[in-house]
Amino acid sequence: MLRGKKIGIIGTGNMGRALARGLVQANVIPADHLLLADRKAERLTPLVRELEAQAFGVDTLIPQCDVIILAVKPQDMEDLLKPRQHLFHKEQLLVSIAAGLKTDRLEACFDEDIPVVRVMPNLPVLVRAGASAYCLGQYASWPHGVVTSLLFSAVGLVVEVDETQMDAVTALSGTGPAYVFLLAEVMSAAGAKEGLPDEVSGYLAVQTILGAAQMMSDSDKSPAELRAQVTSPGGTTAAAIASLESQNFRDIFYNGVHAARSRSAELSQE
């Protein structure tokens, strides 16, 4: 479905750059079908050189592309789209990754019924291990979803959700990398408290998270089953889990994720 399609990315900051690299490195599209634009030449030029992609001004890029990925900050989006609405047409697909910006806000930038897909990627797209969820706007249909899936699978896993679930996605996978960074911090500090040198404790904590994540990803067992497998009655894991559960570890965590979802809902109203 991507054969022959020209893909444009507007905004080559952290996310746009990660996506561009993923698309070329995973051979999802040939480099000469990747068109890039950014108002910062110092960001655009080295990336274009690295990937052997093509650089354009925004106004020249838009009419040439079948799919345009909008990777600018949410507050820059309307200024980018509204004055250029005449450059877009409804055979194109617009894919926005702007956090909190709903599809109806994007659709309202145009007089025509432009197909829009909203994607919430997360930070590990930088290492091609992202978790992205997308939802279709009112003028987009399943082929647009398939195209979006093919593009974002270059940088990790992709799922489709309803737009009403986007705040929950933001709270879980969007914000999630920070939960794991916090877990690494806490595990590392706990190891140091128990007598390990700081540096050793840090390495062990990060490698333990990496190894456990790899096992969860490779295994057909659920995280709960894997945990049960390593929890022998009367053993060290059982002692740790009993202590965490008795102090409402789950409720503390649920409350944290809920706070993120509420904040995401507030921000998307602003």
Q: Which residues bind ligand NAP (CB under 6 A)?
A: 10-11, 13-16, 37-40, 43, 58, 71-74, 76, 80, 97-99, 120-123, 174
Q: How far apart are CB 69 and ligand NAP at their closest, in Å?
A: 10
Considering the complex, state which of residue 69 and residue 191 has its C-beta at the smaller distance from ligand NAP.
Answer: 69
Q: How far apart are CB 128 and ligand NAP at their closest, in Å?
A: 14
Q: How far apart are CB 97 and ligand NAP at their closest, in Å?
A: 4
Task: Report how far residue 123's alpha carbon sits from residue 121's, in angstroms, rounded to the nearest whole number.
Answer: 7
Within 126-175, where are the H helices?
A: 142-152, 166-169
Tokens of 7: 């893909």
Considering the complex, state which of residue 107 and residue 201 has its C-beta at the smaller distance from ligand NAP.
Answer: 107
With 0-12 / 13-18 / 19 or more C-beta atoms within 10 angstroms meaning exposed / middle / buried, residue 101 is: buried
Task: Report how far residue 176's alpha carbon sits from residue 194's, in angstroms, rounded to the nearest whole number.
Answer: 27
Considering the complex, state which of residue 13 and residue 197 has its C-beta at the smaller distance from ligand NAP.
Answer: 13
Q: How far apart are CB 64 and ligand NAP at their closest, in Å?
A: 15
With CB atoms as reference, the residue minimizing the distance to ligand NAP is 13
Please compute Rg for the chain using Cα positions: 21
Considering the complex, state which of residue 154 and residue 201 has its C-beta at the smaller distance from ligand NAP.
Answer: 154
Considering the complex, state which of residue 97 and residue 205 has its C-beta at the smaller distance from ligand NAP.
Answer: 97
Q: How many CB atoms lie within 10 A of CB 261?
A: 18
Counting Cα atoms < 13 Å in the Cβ hemisphere of 87 gives 17
Beta bridge partners of 94: 68, 116
Q: How many CB atoms lie within 10 A of CB 114?
A: 22
Considering the complex, state which of residue 53 and residue 72 has its C-beta at the smaller distance from ligand NAP.
Answer: 72
Tokens of 56: 């354009």
Q: How far apart are CB 3 and ligand NAP at their closest, in Å?
A: 27
Residue 251 Cα to chain centre, angstroms: 26
Q: How far apart are CB 39 and ligand NAP at their closest, in Å?
A: 4
